[in-house]
Structure 1
Amino acid sequence: MSESTTCRFTHLAACPDPGRTAHRMRSTSMPTLSLFDAHRAPRPLPEQPRGITSRLQSQGLATIEGLTTRTAVLALAQRVMRLEPHRDSDSDELTTIQDIGRRSQQSGLGGLGNGELLPHTERSSEPHPPRLMLLVCLRPATTGGEVILTDGQAVHGYLAERSPAALEALTLPNTVFYGDGGGHPSQVFTRHPGQRTSIRLRQDSLAAFSPLISGYLPQLRQAINAVQQRLTLEAGQGYLIDNYRWLHARTAFTGNRVCLRALGTPRFPMPIGFPQVAPSQVHTPAAVGGGTP
């Protein structure tokens, strides 16, 4: 995609949306433990990852605990995925996620700061983003730093029921460009054979949206806000997500929060994306997690 074409696209931050501030990063009323417990993989780990793989295959999400050292995190990551290096990863291909100060204000380095991160797909600007992402908390924040997880299937179902025109527009090919000049043209939703769909999204300065879909971004944000769920991680707790199904985000924080992240390809078969569901099958987050407000 040429630079002139990219410049005709709309950056999300510039899209008018009077409700954005009110909706931004506001989670649903689902209790934290309901989300974690609903997807918790049985221990011990990493010797028996079968519980993790079955949850990833069916729901695209597994929550884990008891990983209190870098060695334990790496062992689990190597059992479930073929690790892929990242620009910021260390020699063992794990990335230490912590506040690096003013340098995090550079484009594309927001994850290494202490600010808010909006729901996004990891490495969305790559032609083929990593399929799996593991994130484990080694040291919680003093305040904030909560995880926000959004199921792309729930977003898709919400739009199918309430804004079908927006859903169709967000599926149009090559209507968004992720990254800088070396990024990748794509679309928010991609349809695959077998009635399956994947989601790809970022909402920072490295996302440029075509005029064909920029008018539907408020509906997309509304859908994300309606179904996203909040998760507070203690030391040793974490989650594994299907990066083609789940969006992840983070609230701003204070203190020396430290997490480890692994990216890679699953060592077990996984159908791509998520099955499309009829609008009548869409559940609220509380129903999915088995909790009550």
Structure 2
Amino acid sequence: MTLTADRINGLRDDVHEQGWTHLAGVGTLPDELLEVLRYLGEPRRGTFWAELQLVTYTGSSVERSVAESDHVLSPHTDGSFEPDPPELLLLQCLQPDLPGYGESRLVTVYDVVAALPAETTQLLREPRYHFFKHEKGKKAHAIGPVLWQLEDGRDAIRYRHDQKYQIVGDCEQTRAAIADLAAVVLGLEDTHPAPLAAGDVLVLDNRRCLHGRSALSGQVARQLRTA
């Protein structure tokens, strides 16, 4: 795939305006994903991150890994438990599931804020939530707000709350705010369907766009490469 100046600028504009963009026909090789990445920034490691990594359906149980199981993967941002979560996330489809299964689904922070009562939004902006991950013998923990504003005034979100990750409030009100947010995200998870063919890449602003997927068929080894 050749990334022309117009396509690069369009990619950046789309991510800036809506929080994500879908690139069709990029290819399935690591170098093809890195080519896209080079125009956007440099990969960096975190507590659990390699520069490139694979997410493959292995038939494992949810107790081992939600992403590797056939269960629904609820919309979330990546690295919620990191002190400094990644700003951009790239998902390159290597092998899709059967039609109708394992399809990516996106929810933007705009969708979330518009659906929440103002008082809940205000509670979620307080910098006293605990973000946990416990998996494969590793533990990580960060503290901060769920919602905040970027320097240009746009809303941002840090959110993952499922079988392996938890957000914990420090009092009854903040715990209720998390429960309300979880219900809103669940209700919005079909807002932006993004089915991926082999060779497609999703570029996500990890601060403004949650991503998830529908349940897997269990018959195909669906595989993504992430950066």
Task: Give the TM-score normalised by structure 1.
Answer: 0.65
Cα 1:213–1:184 change in 2 (3 A) is: same
- Residue aligning to 1:183: 141
Is residue 2:98 matched to residue 1:142?
A: yes
1:59 positional shift: 2.0
- Residue aligning to 1:69: 28
1:1-293 equivalences in 2 (<5 Å): 45-48=2-5, 49-70=8-29, 71-85=31-45, 87=48, 89=50, 93-102=51-60, 105-106=63-64, 109-142=65-98, 144-159=101-116, 163-180=117-134, 182-204=140-162, 205-210=164-169, 211-224=172-185, 225-226=187-188, 228-254=191-217, 255-262=220-227
CA contact (8 A) 2:82 2:142 kept: yes
SS at match of 1:239: strand
1:218 positional shift: 4.2
Q: Tell me the distance in 1 between the aligned counterparts of 2:133 and 2:41.
A: 25
Q: Tell me the distance in 2 between the aligned counterparts of 1:217 and 1:62.
A: 28
| Letter of the structure 2 residue corresponding to residue 216 of structure 1 | A
CA contact (8 A) 1:98 1:114 kept: no
CA contact (8 A) 2:148 2:155 kept: yes
Aligned-pair Cα RMSD in Å: 2.3
The superposition leaves residues 80-124 of structure 1 with CA deviations (integer Å, 9 ceiling, x where unpaired) of 2201246464xxx22111123437632xx3223332211111111
CA contact (8 A) 1:142 1:256 kept: no
CA contact (8 A) 2:60 2:68 kept: no
| Letter of the structure 1 residue corresponding to residue 107 of structure 2 | T
Identity of aligned residues (%): 24
Q: Tell me the distance in 1 between the aligned counterparts of 2:151 and 2:198.
A: 40
Q: Which runs of 5+ in 1 are unaligned?
A: 1-43, 263-293
SS at match of 1:252: coil
CA contact (8 A) 2:129 2:144 kept: yes
SS at match of 1:102: coil
| Letter of the structure 2 residue corresponding to residue 247 of structure 1 | L
Q: How many residues align?
A: 211
| Letter of the structure 1 residue corresponding to residue 94 of structure 2 | L
The superposition leaves residues 40-77 of structure 1 with CA deviations (integer Å, 9 ceiling, x where unpaired) of xxxx6434422211212222211101122213222222
Instruction: Kindly name which structure, 1 or 2, has the bigger radius of gyration based on alpha carbons.
Output: 1
| Letter of the structure 2 residue corresponding to residue 134 of structure 1 | L
- Please state which structure has a larger fraction of its residues in helix: 1
Q: Which runs of 5+ in 2 are unaligned?
A: none
Cα 1:54–1:209 change in 2 (3 A) is: same
| Letter of the structure 1 residue corresponding to residue 156 of structure 2 | S
The superposition leaves residues 236-292 of structure 1 with CA deviations (integer Å, 9 ceiling, x where unpaired) of 222101000001111121211111111xxxxxxxxxxxxxxxxxxxxxxxxxxxxxx
CA contact (8 A) 1:178 1:186 kept: no
Cα 1:172–1:78 change in 2 (3 A) is: same
Q: Tell me the distance in 2 between the aligned counterparts of 1:203 and 1:59.
A: 23
CA contact (8 A) 1:61 1:241 kept: yes
